[in-house]
Structure formats: C-alpha cells, structure tokens
Amino acid sequence: MPSGVELGIIVLSLKVALVGVACSLPPAIFFAYVLARTDFPGKTLLDALVHLPLVLPPVVVGFALLLLFGNKGLLGAWLADWFGIVFAFRWTGAALAAAIMGFPLMVRAIRLSIAAIDRRLETVARTLGGSRVWVFASITLPLALPGIVTGGLLSFARSLGEFGATITFVSNIPGETETLPLAIYTFVQTPGGDAQALRLSLFAVVLSIAALIASEWLTRRSRKTAGADDRR
C-alpha cells in the first residue's frame, strides 16, 4: 500500500494526466476532423505543427512552453492578467505540458478513425435534413468513438510518463509539480533512495496496467455503440 506521500504523488500524477487529456480532447477532435476531412493550402504545415511535440526533444517543448507560458512569457502574462490562469511552476503547467506532449498521438488516432468513416454516411445524413453540426454530432462523432478512446488512452499514458517537458517548464516541486517520473528521478538521485524509487516504479506499472484494462473495456463499449460489434 502506498504511504501518504506516495499517494499524494500518485494522485497528482493522475490529476495532471486526466486534466491534460480532458482539456486536449476537444481541440484534438477539431484538428483531427480538419486534417481528415478538409483540404486547404497549408494543410501540410498544420500537420507538421501538430506532430512537432512528437519529434522534438521534450526539453525543447518544455523550454518553448516556458518562453510562451512563463510568468513573463507572451501568453503567460496575458492569461495571468486577464483570466488569472497561471501555468508557471504550478500543477496546471504540468497538465499543459502533458497535454501538449500527448496531443500528436491523440490527433493521429482520432484522425485515422474519422478518415475511416464513409463520407457518404455524412452525405446521407445531410440529405435527411441534418445540419452540418448535427450530422457531426450524431454520425461522425459516435462513429469515431473507438479512435477517440484510443487517442485518449495514448495521450493519458504519454502524460503519466511525461518527464522532460514537465521538469523544464514547471520544475520539480514536491506536492505541486512532482509527478511519478519526477519523483522516481529524485529518489534515484538521492543516496539510499533506490528502495523508494523501486516502490514508486511498481506503482507506475500498476497504474499503466490499470489504464490499459480500462481502455480495453472502453474500446469494447464504444465499438458496441458504434455498431462494429453485436449488440445482442
């Protein structure tokens, strides 16, 4: 059983990952739809931009986030002044880093499942009187659900393991930004901390397996509603 401190680290990690996934889901669905269904000049550029966090060293992403969303950063100062949202050295910053790092994986999975939907189904729905928005909500979204679940899980798993961007952007502050990987790293660096590091690593394994099982179950459920499986 995890101790109080360990439990705090686990809860913080889950919170960061879940908030990151939840906040990146709507924009990910938007970009996935745009990339799968539309054609416009500059699409390749947008595609590359979305994939950037996947190919850049995480430290570079973290540094970029620091420049943009730091207290003196372009967006950071503006967000803090107008909305009171602060990312720098807060758990929200860790969630932002996690969301950004998981974003390409999420978009890829959702984009694939949207591209696999027969466009003529959307056409039929339009001729049956559905507006664009309604057709998206009633046809496209439910049929893309398996991809959305997969994308969500990939991003969640990526978030749980996020290290480089997080430590660069929001540092390693116990109780605020010290997620599981950061805590393990700290214990490994501390003389005699190996046993603690091992314990935390085991919790990480348990969490990952639990996430996998949960996603399996969710995927099966969403397939059922998406009709790829038998309902009765």
Minimum Å gap between C-beta 41 and other proteins is 20
Site for other proteins contains 228 (CB under 8 A) = yes
Q: Which span (25-33, 153-161, 165-173, 221-229) binds other proteins, by CB under 8 A?
A: 221-229
Closer CB to other proteins, residue 168 or residue 222? Answer: 222
Site for other proteins contains 137 (CB under 8 A) = no
To which residue do tokens 């602060």 refer?
86
In the chain, % helix, strand, coil (3-state, to 5) comes to 80, 0, 20
Closer CB to other proteins, residue 38 or residue 189? Answer: 38
Contacting residue, 4, 41, 129, 191, with other proteins by CB under 8 A: 129
Q: Which span (6-14, 25-33, 107-115, 120-128) binds other proteins, by CB under 8 A?
A: 120-128
Site for other proteins contains 193 (CB under 8 A) = no
Site for other proteins contains 134 (CB under 8 A) = yes
Closer CB to other proteins, residue 22 or residue 124? Answer: 124
Site for other proteins contains 126 (CB under 8 A) = yes
Nearest 5°: the CA angle 175, 177, 182 is 100
Closer CB to other proteins, residue 131 or residue 190? Answer: 131
Closer CB to other proteins, residue 81 or residue 230? Answer: 230
Site for other proteins contains 139 (CB under 8 A) = yes
Q: What is the 3-state secondary structure of the chain? A: CCCHHHHHHHHHHHHHHHHHHHHHHHHHHHHHHHHHHCCCCCHHHHHHHHHHHHHCCHHHHHHHHHHHHCCCCHHHHHHHHHHCCCCCCCHHHHHHHHHHHHHHHHHHHHHHHHHCCCHHHHHHHHHCCCCHHHHHHHHHHHHCHHHHHHHHHHHHHHHHCCCHHHHHHHCCCCCCCCCHHHHHHHHHHCCCCHHHHHHHHHHHHHHHHHHHHHHHHHHHHHHHHHCCCCCC
Q: Which span (22-30, 36-44, 99-107, 123-131) binds other proteins, by CB under 8 A?
A: 123-131
Closer CB to other proteins, residue 8 or residue 142? Answer: 142
Minimum Å gap between C-beta 27 and other proteins is 24
Site for other proteins contains 38 (CB under 8 A) = no
Q: Give the Å distances, CA to CA, from 169 to 8, 27, 81, 176, 197.
A: 21, 22, 20, 13, 23
Residues contributing to the site for other proteins (CB under 8 A): 118, 120-121, 123-131, 134, 138-139, 142-143, 225-228, 230-231
